[in-house]
A = this chain, B = another copy of it.
């Protein structure tokens, strides 16, 4: 007996996945992110107007030719707001979801921690079933690459962007048991001065592009402030480390 086909008045909407894909080493994807990435029909990712597509590069070996790719251009200049760009990207993704196709949006590192996916999440999570898959943050991958235990027991950890004003950075660093300063780039000289003022410079560790083939680890005293990439991190591990 042939089963009766259900009458469907409308297409079932697709699922939206925010995929944390980690700091750069493709092996640092989770099994779950890999499974979703290789099973969805549509993959979306931010691209820079300059042509850089870092998120896609991390997982390039896992993408198949039959998967639809949706690049989402973002402005190259930090002077321009990226919000109108996310409006356009979100609508391109929504078209696939409305047509019943699941979409995985690639997000470097951990999506909920300064992640680009949050802007898509804010635009679409009320309209479509949305699942966020956590990823390895470059913050903690850096601690692993540096071989530096970060926090013990009762330590407070603060994660802060180097883009903040010097006074705020100084106040937060002064009370943190352990700290990670991200998004260094052209702010390195300011950070160096603050760390010296707080007697933290000797404890600080420096790493560029953690887990990537061009990763650099060097003593912080040898860093040239004029050549610090955005993807550099300064880490101040806890001193309560029991030996």
Q: Bound complex: CA of A15 vs CA of B35, how far in Å? A: 29
Task: Classify chain A: how many residues form its interface, as a range.
Answer: 35 or more
**A172 surroundings in chain B (CB, below 8 A):** 156, 175
B144 touching A112, Cβ below 8 Å: yes
A141 touching B136, Cβ below 8 Å: no
Give the secondary structure class of A's interface. mixed
Q: A141-B134, A158-B157 are in contact. Are A22 and B30 (CB under 8 A)?
A: yes
Q: Bound complex: CA of A28 vs CA of B136, how far in Å? A: 10
Chain B nearest CB from A81 CB (Å) reads: 9
A134 touching B140, Cβ below 8 Å: yes
Closest Cβ neighbor of A163 among chain B residues: B154
B28 touching A30, Cβ below 8 Å: yes
Q: Which of A7-64 contact B (CB under 8 A)?
A: 18, 20, 22, 25-32, 34-35
Q: Bound complex: CA of A72 vs CA of B155, how far in Å? A: 24
A85 proximal to B (CB < 8 A) = no
Q: Among the listed stretches A90-98, A114-122, A195-203, A214-222, which one makes contact with chain B, having 4 or more residues with CB under 8 Å of it?
A: A114-122
Query: CB < 8 Å: which of B115, B140, B156 contacts A112?
Result: B140
B125 touching A147, Cβ below 8 Å: yes
**A149 surroundings in chain B (CB, below 8 A):** 112, 115, 118, 121-122
A132 touching B144, Cβ below 8 Å: yes
A152 touching B34, Cβ below 8 Å: no
**18 A-B pairs whose Cβ atoms sit less than 8 Å apart in the complex:** A28-B32, A28-B134, A30-B30, A83-B242, A112-B140, A112-B143, A112-B150, A113-B151, A113-B157, A114-B155, A121-B149, A122-B149, A122-B242, A134-B136, A137-B137, A137-B140, A158-B159, A171-B175
